[in-house]
Amino acid sequence: MEDQTTALQSELYNMNELCQQKDHALQQNTVQVEAAQMVMDAEIQALTLKMEEELEKSVCCSMAQTVVTQSTGLATPVECCPLFYQVSGVRRCQHLKLFRRS
């Protein structure tokens, strides 16, 4: 009877060790999955920001239409774009690369 008890205790100990090893492996896998998820989330966020910028550019550019001014009869871009800047008297839209003398 004592031999059976010792054998059962040894088997129980071995099973406990195996469970602890599996638990440790599961914890490591969880950490790896969470790290991979964080990387994917960052990539998705960066891609989302890029897509939002592209959408903003496309909306801006579709609104930056060329109009004919009544005073000069010349075509000039509408300056709805917040990204207009001026270099040497030429106004430029960073999206459309439109030019106009100011």
pLDDT score, position 41 = 95
The rounded distance, in Å, linking the Cα atoms of 98 and 66 is 9
Each residue's pLDDT tens digit in the chain (102 positions)? 888 999 999 999 999 999 999 999 999 999 999 999 999 999 999 999 888 877 766 655 554 444 444 555 554 544 455 555 445 555 555 554 444 444
pTM (2 decimals)? 0.48
- Cβ neighbours for 63, distance < 8 A, ≥ 6 positions apart: 78, 80, 81
pLDDT score, position 39 = 96
Q: For the chain, which residues make up each domain, given as ranges?
A: 1-63, 65-102
Reference 100, options 81, 70, 91; nearest CA is: 91
Q: For residue range 34-44, what is the model confidence (pLDDT) as tens digits?
A: 999 999 999 99
pLDDT score, position 53 = 76
